[in-house]
């Protein structure tokens, strides 16, 4: 199951991605927002990240205007590896090398087709482990040191 959330700047793209994920047969939980009124992206970033960390969702997707704010927010939660991506190679590498458990997109910088391509590349990729796991272990050690 994937949990997806956005602020007002990512609402249209979130709606399109919800449809895309359902067409792929993926169960999706929508964490909001549901309207175009201005909201605070940290509220939705936190909700998605905490749901992933709690094991209530396998993966998360976050969308705000640029993706920057959501990325910063989600990465404050220990254990979250949120990757802001803008092309298919980055999306694939986010999973293969960084085992990103949250994908972050910019609703005002990506069109719907490109966003679907990025989500598809991320979902279809598999973490390679090996030397990449050793690097993730170093990130985990940093989280533990500063938590």
Chain segment 20-33, per-residue pLDDT in tens = 999 999 999 999 99
Mean pLDDT of 38-45: 98
Residue 71: count other Cβ atoms within 10 Å of its Cβ.
Answer: 23
CATH superfamily of domain region 2-146: Sugar-phosphate isomerase, RpiB/LacA/LacB (3.40.1400.10)
- Band of pLDDT at residue 8, cut at 50, 70 and 90: very high
Say what the pTM is.
Answer: 0.98
Active site residues: 64, 97
Chain segment 104-120, per-residue pLDDT in tens = 999 999 999 999 999 99
Question: Would you kindly state where each structural domain of the chain is located, as residue ranges?
Answer: 2-146
- Band of pLDDT at residue 103, cut at 50, 70 and 90: very high
């Amino acid at each position: 199951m994937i949990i997806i959330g956005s602020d007002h700047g990512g609402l249209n793209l979130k709606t399109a991605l919800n449809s895309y994920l359902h067409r792929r047969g993926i169960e999706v939980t929508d964490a909001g927002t549901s309207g175009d009124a201005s909201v605070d992206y940290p509220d939705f970033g936190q909700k998605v990240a905490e749901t992933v960390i709690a094991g209530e969702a396998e993966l998360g997707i976050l969308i705000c205007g640029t993706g920057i704010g959501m990325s910063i927010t989600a990465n404050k939660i220990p254990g979250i590896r949120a990757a802001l991506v803008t092309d298919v190679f980055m999306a694939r590498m986010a999973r293969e090398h960084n085992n990103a458990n949250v994908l972050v997109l910019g609703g005002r910088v990506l069109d719907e087709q490109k966003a679907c391509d990025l989500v598809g590349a991320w979902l279809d990729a598999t973490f390679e482990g090996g030397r990449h796991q050793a690097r993730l272990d170093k990130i985990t050690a940093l989280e533990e040191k500063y938590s």
